[in-house]
Amino acid sequence: MADSYETVVYSLSPNCGLGEVEEGLIYAGTVQGFANFGTFVQLNARLKGLVHKSNILQEHEERDQIFVRVINIRNNGNIDLAEVIPKVFRLETVTKAFKVTKLAEIGKQVGRSVTLETKVAQIKQTSGPTIFTLVDESGSGNAAAFIEAGVRAYPEVELGNAVLVTGEVMRRQNQLQIEVSSMQVLSGDEGQAVHTRIEEALDARAEPEDIPLLVESEVMTALRPELRKVAKLIRRAVLEAQPIILRHHADADGICAAVAVEQAVISLMREEGDDLDTAYYLFKRSPSKAPFYEIEDITRDLDFALKDHERFGQKLPLIVLMDNGSTEEDIPSMKMARVYGLPMIVVDHHHPDAIVDEYLIAHANPYHVGGDFGITAGMLGAEVARLIYPGISDRIRHLPAVAGVGDRSEAPERQRFLDLVSEDYSEDECKDIALALDYEQFWLRFNDGRELVKDILNLKDDPALQKRLVSLLVEEANAAIEEQMAASMPHVTEEILPNGANLFRIDVEIFAHRFTFPPPGKTSGEIHDRLCRQHPGEPVVTLGFGPDFAVLRSRGVMMNIPRMVRELRDEITGGGINGGGHLVVGSIKFVEGMRKAALDGLVEKIGQAPTETPRT
């Protein structure tokens, strides 16, 4: 019971309306503004009264706390107040019973006022209202709070806060929005309880459906738990409106992997109510220049992400690397990401260095379960995409076949994926699509070329356009390759190594057109393929080199390129030797002035490697 010397001051909770205000009682309010005739006082976000200037006792500034007695509630709802200055007082909060609505259910409450307990996933200041993206256990939604055009509403509310939101649900067509009348940060136990409940619910919603693989595969079956984990983490990011940056190898396999996930993520975002602009704002796909996540890439990604975080109240992004990311060359960038606490996921089929896993929250790689690079990133990506959004399956089911032939997979899954789509695409057509992707990506440089790529892959259901486009790109690509071969092939030199292997050397810098398609690596590959056909049944090594690099392709020679590179690095002082790759396909870098020493050393080692009669 109240001390009789105490005044009771009531504080109105955000959900209180006029019905909760009583004449004669004293309330705590906030000075909201001044007029000639008096001072406006906010009792809560929905209730405002006026203290006539004759009833003001002291000077105030805007946003000052003020105590007022309700002297009259008029018929039109206006509240007349008088300032009081209580000496000793006790504060009591007036609340009104309310029912908490779930975000997924606001569709049934259109036109009504609802109260929600949610987490704040994004705060975006538009030139009009402030848009809060809210998530709870049931879904996500947008709430618009307006104070003044371009001015941040509820500046005390921060990203990640648990908040109690009241507002009216607006709905037209497929867009729902809450027009906020009050928003209150929940702290302490109350906030914690909301956090925990939402966390558990989001975790459950992020769990992918249990769907079978597109084709039979021992390796991919063994990888299923990790693929599910990857899909769940990506789904979770979408449900929480966390931005996603997807970096991928800029070749046909990498593109197929990344585009499959892109389509799934965009579909999920659309289903969650995002419009197309928001979806492509939250999801960025970027082909990488290098075959790993370069420091320059993470620097650019961080630069943009931190500016967006500062400017749009955006969460820091989830980074997903596809057909990339599993080797120690990625470590410096991963360390940078870790400094800022960015979560990272890798889906790759390159031989992994164990150390990368220290930096990752998930890593799907066939080598982890006894598979090899024959299970290409595009195959893995399609399965991840289906786990993210099963409805995407039909649209992307041909991508693994394109990826498989593009990356020359020799795994049995390659044929199974080809069989899966044989009614729509022959093996040659898949090869054409892969070549079209490589060629188009070359000219796109490192832009995503989103719509062009979707057209090449027939993701907008226009097969006639796909046919015209692929057929033109393949024609152009082949003409460019022929032109390059005409310039290069006459300059290839041949020697027989001690181990009996044919070694072919070609300077791809001075005997090939530069800055055009095919670039040096692909030029070397094409030369190698032709030489292999000219020397059936013989071991063949092709060495395409420039001033400070060499690209190695081989058949029937059991080299271990990463080991050779390590040895040369130790043996050639001042050679600046670096490089790597797969066992029998790779590249090596050196300083220009030590090219002869580096190439001689390399050739000597190649000449010592055991050979075998190759499959032709």
List beta partners, residue 552: 543, 586
Half-sphere exposure of 92 (CA within 13 A, CB side): 10
Smallest separation (angstroms) from a second copy to the CB of 481: 13
Q: Pick the closer one to a second copy by CB: 188 or 490.
A: 490
CA 255, CA 43: separation in Å to the nearest integer?
57
Q: Pick the closer one to a second copy by CB: 137 or 274.
A: 274
CA 586, CA 9: separation in Å to the nearest integer?
77
Smallest separation (angstroms) from a second copy to the CB of 451: 4
Smallest separation (angstroms) from a second copy to the CB of 565: 14
CA 145, CA 182: separation in Å to the nearest integer?
8
Smallest separation (angstroms) from a second copy to the CB of 148: 5
Tell me which DSSP letter residue 533 carries.
Answer: H
CA 543, CA 547: separation in Å to the nearest integer?
13
Smallest separation (angstroms) from a second copy to the CB of 133: 14
Q: Pick the closer one to a second copy by CB: 247 or 414.
A: 247
CA 351, CA 160: separation in Å to the nearest integer?
38
Q: Based on DSSP, count helices (H) and strands (E) in the chain, helices before strands.
A: 16, 23
Smallest separation (angstroms) from a second copy to the CB of 483: 8
Please, which residues have CB within 8 angstroms of residue 426's CB and are 6 or more apart in sequence? Answer: none
Q: Pick the closer one to a second copy by CB: 463 or 574.
A: 574
- CB of 123 closer than 8 Å to CB of 132: yes
Angle, helix 520-534 to helix 463-488, in steps of 10 degrees = 80
Smallest separation (angstroms) from a second copy to the CB of 223: 32
Angle, helix 399-406 to helix 252-271, in steps of 10 degrees = 160
Please, which residues have CB within 8 angstroms of residue 21's CB and are 6 or more apart in sequence? Answer: 12, 27, 43, 47, 70, 73, 79
Tokens of 489: 């092939």
Smallest separation (angstroms) from a second copy to the CB of 304: 9
Q: Pick the closer one to a second copy by CB: 184 or 441.
A: 441
Q: Pick the closer one to a second copy by CB: 391 or 574.
A: 574
3-class DSSP assignment, residue 258: helix
Q: Pick the closer one to a second copy by CB: 149 or 204.
A: 149
Q: Pick the closer one to a second copy by CB: 205 or 569.
A: 569
CA 231, CA 383: separation in Å to the nearest integer?
9
DSSP assignments along 83-138, one per residue: E---SSEEEEEE-----BPPGGGGGGGBTSEEEEEEEEEEEEE-SSSEEEEEE-SS
Burial class (CB in 10 A: 0-12, 13-18, 19+), 220: buried
**Sign of dihedral through CA atoms 92, 96, 97, 100?**
negative
Smallest separation (angstroms) from a second copy to the CB of 468: 5
Smallest separation (angstroms) from a second copy to the CB of 473: 8
CA 457, CA 28: separation in Å to the nearest integer?
64
Tell me which DSSP letter residue 287 carries.
Answer: E
Q: Pick the closer one to a second copy by CB: 315 or 414.
A: 315
Task: Tell me the C-alpha to C-alpha distance, in Å, between residue 527 and each of 171, 328, 380.
Answer: 62, 30, 30
Q: Pick the closer one to a second copy by CB: 401 or 470.
A: 470
3-class DSSP assignment, residue 264: helix
Tokens of 107: 């569709």
CA 82, CA 313: separation in Å to the nearest integer?
40
Q: Pick the closer one to a second copy by CB: 92 or 105.
A: 105
Smallest separation (angstroms) from a second copy to the CB of 444: 6
Q: Pick the closer one to a second copy by CB: 365 or 488.
A: 488
Q: Pick the closer one to a second copy by CB: 500 or 574.
A: 574
Tokens of 505: 């050397």
Q: 576-603: buried (b, 16+ CB within 10 Å) or exposed (e) per residue?
A: ebbbbbeebbbbbbbbeebbebbbebbb
Smallest separation (angstroms) from a second copy to the CB of 266: 12
Smallest separation (angstroms) from a second copy to the CB of 83: 19
Task: Tell me the C-alpha to C-alpha distance, in Å, between residue 326 and each of 48, 232, 409, 522.
Answer: 60, 20, 18, 22
CA 402, CA 432: separation in Å to the nearest integer?
9
Smallest separation (angstroms) from a second copy to the CB of 341: 9
Smallest separation (angstroms) from a second copy to the CB of 311: 7
Q: Pick the closer one to a second copy by CB: 450 or 530.
A: 450
Q: Pick the closer one to a second copy by CB: 21 or 305.
A: 305
Smallest separation (angstroms) from a second copy to the CB of 312: 10
